């Protein structure tokens, strides 16, 4: 799932890269960096879960899943904010 999300995100960035404003890129990069940090936390939690057993492993997996969902939501929020920045830049032209 994570790989799929990263591939889709990268493809979106490449596709939109040619028409993005500087402000849009700045906004999107900030959200992407935050989402990347959340995904890294999720990966670390998954690694910890692999070394646990029982309820502790399940709790760690749940935290990991929650972090991944938060990362996805952050990326989506970044896309919305970037779209607003782009619309604002276009209205100035």
**If you ran DSSP here, which 8-state letter would residue 58 be given?**
H
pLDDT digit string, tens, across residues 47-56: 988 888 889 8
Q: What would the pLDDT profile of 28-76 be if each residue is shown by its tens digit? A: 899 999 999 999 999 998 898 888 888 988 998 899 999 999 999 999 9
pTM of the full predicted structure? Answer: 0.63
Cα–Cα nearest to 25, from 91, 93, 78: 78
* Mean pLDDT value across residues 6-19: 54
**What does the radius of gyration of the chain's CA atoms come to, in whole angstroms?**
16
């Amino acid at each position: 799932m994570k790989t799929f999300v990263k591939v889709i995100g990268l493809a979106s960035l490449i596709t939109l890269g040619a028409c993005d404003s500087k402000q849009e890129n700045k906004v999107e990069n900030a959200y992407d960096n935050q989402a990347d940090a959340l995904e890294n936390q999720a990966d670390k939690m998954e690694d910890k879960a692999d070394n646990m057993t029982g309820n502790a492993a399940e709790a760690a997996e749940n935290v990991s899943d929650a972090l991944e969902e938060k990362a996805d939501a952050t990326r989506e929020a970044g896309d919305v904010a970037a779209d607003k920045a782009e619309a604002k830049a276009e209205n100035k032209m």
